Structure 1
Amino acid sequence: MTNPATRPPCYGVVLAAGSGSRLGRGPKALLTKSNGETLLNSAVQALLLGGCDEIVVVLGAEAQRVAAHLGDVGVKILINDRWSTGMGSSFALGMAAVPSGAGALVALVDQPGMDAELVRRLISAHRPGRITAAGYRQGTEPLRRGHPVLFAPEHTQPAAAAAAGDAGARDYLAAHRGLIDLVDCSDLDTGSDVDTVLDLHLLGEH
């Protein structure tokens, strides 16, 4: 566990560039939860209230329209002109904005159950030099790795360099399994994201 007084800065990186083509409702960042909050604003607030020092948001599809919904939140907005090539380019762009010496907590905009308590738990459990990932289980199944994922400073740029296509950090994480600490967050969320119409119930729709 990292002492809050001595830990390096933690940047929250929200990947929100996709068009939501499989869902057919426009960018998923603008989907609204049952409380009327967009997924993008929900993710940003979770990272801010959960302990991230700065927030980077990576946009792509309909970037200007999506950015307009953020208002005056004080986040750094990056626009990925290559968003259609897959999540890898957005991941690399967002991680490149994290300064040397800072860690990066990477979150997906379409995970509606992520909240400040979950983010706070990951940051609190993080150990120097490690990669900390939220873990989720169903019943008696083993923990499965999900999001968010917190990278210690020494992993941010190597992970960005390894990103390609739609894999994001997948290849880097697979190559560094021994450095990953899974933190059980099953009591806070299922780790599910909104991909298709069948997932809309995750937003609280009825």
Structure 2
Amino acid sequence: MTHLAPDEPRAHRPGPSIPGPVAADRVAGLVLAAGAGRRYGGPKALVRLDGRLLVERAVQVARAGGCGPVLAVLGAAASTVRSRAELGDAVPVENPEWATGMGSSLRAGLATLRDSGAVAAVVLLVDMPGITAEAVRRLVEIAEPDALGMAGYGTRRGHPVLLGRAHWPGVAELAVGDVGARPYLRRHEARVSVVPCDDVADDADLDVPPATVP
């Protein structure tokens, strides 16, 4: 049975630092988990689903899908997330501008990866628990410095999203307010590879808590 509930606190553990240059064929995982979840009632990173926090689930999916390093961009309740979540070797990146919208979190993550040596980054949103490691793996397989990729769900495009290193400056320039990579991807639509993932994943987001049964 699926359970969505607040988490209990754990002792604080310092997070790992961003690694130095990595192998040139590596693909970073970038989990955006900074939002306050106002319509949901609290930060979605701290929502517990089937025994795991959503941020833990997203980090594990990125790692199992072949990403490394994996970064988790935090904002609202960042200190609480860091103390409660088991992030393993994922690198927590705090975005002080998180309240301005998702764009600032994407910029913060890409800026942190600038010196990592990663050839590309796969972006995952923390509130999409239906994204699977296999979906991430399919995006990782097309990674190149100049690649752009989106998961395909029938005729619709969605997450995960692959951003080759050559595109990071352009993505960051257009990622403002509550908008992430979509403006850049629309501008370069002809270069976007659509990778079918509807047989292995679901990118529906947890927008509001499920209705309570009386």
CA contact (8 A) 2:157 2:194 kept: yes
Is 2:131 the partner of 1:114?
yes
Question: How far did residue 16 of structure 1 move?
Answer: 0.2
Written as runs of structure 1 = structure 2, the 5 A alignment for 1:1-206 is 8-24=25-41, 26-34=42-50, 36-71=51-86, 73-99=88-114, 101-102=117-118, 103-126=120-143, 129-137=146-154, 142=155, 144-198=156-210
Q: What's the CA shift string for 1:161-181, capped at 9, x where partnerless?
A: 221111111211111101101
CA contact (8 A) 1:15 1:106 kept: yes
Corresponding residue for residue 3 of structure 2: none
Give SS of 2:48's match.
coil
**Structure 1 unaligned residues grouped into runs of 5+:** 1-5
TM-score (norm 2): 0.82
Q: Alignment length, in residue pairs? A: 189
Give SS of 1:157's match.
helix
Q: Percent identity?
A: 42
Give SS of 1:181's match.
strand
Distance 2:104 2:87 in 1: 26
TM-score (norm 1): 0.85
Runs of 4+ in structure 1 displaced over 4 angstroms? Answer: none
**Structure 2 unaligned residues grouped into runs of 5+:** 1-22
Distance 1:12 1:161 in 2: 20
Question: How far did residue 128 of structure 1 move?
Answer: 5.4
Distance 2:24 2:104 in 1: 28
